[in-house]
Amino acid sequence: MSRRILISVTSDLNSDQRVHKVSQTCHDQGFEVVLVGRLTRDSLDLEKRDYRTRRFWLPFQRKAGFYAFYNIRLFIYLVFHRADILISNDLDTLPANFLASRLKGIPLIYDSHEYFTEVPELQHRPLVKWVWTRIEKGIFPRLRHVYTVNATIAGIYRNKYHTDVQVIRNLPFLHRVSSGNQPGITLPENRKILIYQGAGIHRDRGAEELVISMAHLNPAEYYLVIAGSGEVIGDLKKLVLDLQLGDRVRFIDRMPFHQLAGLTRRAHLGLTLDKPTNLNYRYSLPNKLFDYIHAGIPVLASDLPEIKAIIDHYEIGECLDSLEPLRLAAKIASMFSDPVRYASWKAHTQNASRELCWEKESLVLISILKSLEPLKT
């Protein structure tokens, strides 16, 4: 009988590329995999995958009620279903996984997708932040197998908790990029397509400034696609109406990641514009950066350390130190002003994608899986 891994996350699994890649890698290594997530009113049906999935419907969909009930429901599931290894994704699934791991005497792997206690949603909610910080402080030093998304966050965790933390960046598969099919999505053929994508298009991620910047770009030359979901989408749509930009900005709802990859390949420039308004954003290394690289398009990004290091090292685009809409528009136009330079950036994405791929990055995960033995109880 194959060893079984139960992997849990609070997303609805549709657009969460990281947990899919982890799950697929575990499956490819011969494990029986069950990926557990949530089901919401807006959740799309899941396409068939090589591993099993399970999504919980809960009476609470937001805030404290959701996290409490999810962990209770998850704990019950983990305890009463066979598992040889548990993988917890982010702090909001860690309490249930840690307790189940100790109760059943099985190994636990912790995958921290971000600097959780410094996410913007917690910065003006001191009590909630205190609760999550206490949970992290109580559990993190007792973990044996931890990895996170970049070297900066790994260093912060090592210094805080004196725990070994490895790095597994959220890189795409090199050999599994699909052109995808986006039914009914037509894009203008005679304009430069700018794409801003993400499952968390929230405040302080530069989307508002990007929309405004489109008013300062030639409408006959540039067309912006905002693909994904987030708390500011409604505000962005209103902004487009107010500025009369409906002929140059298109919103596309979130879609399965292989279809999103196909859409991104049709663009000419990818944008990632997080602001350093909190430590989580400042030290972020967003999925979209690598999605753009694998789509073969140059990147324009805000000047954040982890992102800048990738862009400068591989020479795949530029960073900017201001998101003021006029300056952002000027920088976008500048990116296309020199065809030779643009072609060079585009060519370098091919080299970068061969190095920055999940096939190489997942070797760290495979090493962890091979090292695991049952806990001594």
Q: Is the per-residue pLDDT at 375 higher than 70? A: no
Domain presence at residue 29: yes
Can you read off the two tokens belonging to residue 233? 């989408």
Q: CA–CA separation, 1 vs 203, rounded Å?
A: 47
Looking at the structure of the chain, the number of domains it has is 2
Structural domain including 10 reads 4-168+362-371
Q: CA–CA separation, 140 vs 38, rounded Å?
A: 24
Domain presence at residue 43: yes
Instruction: State the average pLDDT for the chain.
Output: 93
Residues 113 and 210 in one domain: no
- pLDDT of 127: 93
pLDDT band at 178 (very low <50, low <70, confident <90, very high): low
β-partners of residue 85 are 5
Residues 207 and 339 in one domain: yes
Residue % of the chain over a pLDDT of 90 = 83
**Angle 142-144-146 from CA coordinates, rounded to 5°:** 105
Residue 362's identity, in one-letter code, is: S
Q: CA–CA separation, 185 vs 21, rounded Å?
A: 26
Q: Please tell me the pTM assigned to this model.
A: 0.91
Do residues 311 and 319 make contact, with C-beta atoms less than 8 angstroms apart? yes
Q: Is the per-residue pLDDT at 83 higher than 50? A: yes
Domain presence at residue 80: yes
pLDDT, tens digit, 9 for 90 and up, residues 99-148? 999 999 999 999 999 999 999 888 889 999 999 999 999 999 999 999 99
Residues 202 and 160 in one domain: no
What per-residue string of b and e applies to 136-158 under the rule 16 or more CB within 10 Å gives b? beebbeebebbbbbbbbbbebbe
Q: Is the per-residue pLDDT at 352 higher than 90? A: yes
pLDDT band at 377 (very low <50, low <70, confident <90, very high): very low
Q: Is the per-residue pLDDT at 282 higher than 80? A: yes
pLDDT, tens digit, 9 for 90 and up, residues 289-334? 999 999 999 999 999 999 999 999 999 999 999 999 999 999 999 9
Domain presence at residue 367: yes
Q: What is the CATH number of the domain that holds 71?
A: 3.40.50.2000
Residues 202 and 231 in one domain: yes
β-partners of residue 193 are 223
Residues 268 and 144 in one domain: no
Comparing 4 with 41, the larger pLDDT belongs to 4
Residues 28 and 144 in one domain: yes
Residues 154 and 197 in one domain: no
Residues 224 and 329 in one domain: yes
Residues 206 and 58 in one domain: no
- pLDDT of 59: 80
Domain presence at residue 263: yes
What is the CB neighbour count within 10 angstroms for residue 238?
A: 10
Domain presence at residue 135: yes
Domain presence at residue 36: yes
Q: What are phi and psi of 157, to 5 degrees?
A: -65, -40
Domain presence at residue 177: no
Residues 237 and 321 in one domain: yes
- pLDDT of 200: 85
Q: CA–CA separation, 148 vs 115, rounded Å?
A: 9
Residues 91 and 212 in one domain: no
- pLDDT of 66: 86
pLDDT, tens digit, 9 for 90 and up, residues 206-248? 999 999 999 999 999 999 999 999 899 999 999 999 999 999 9
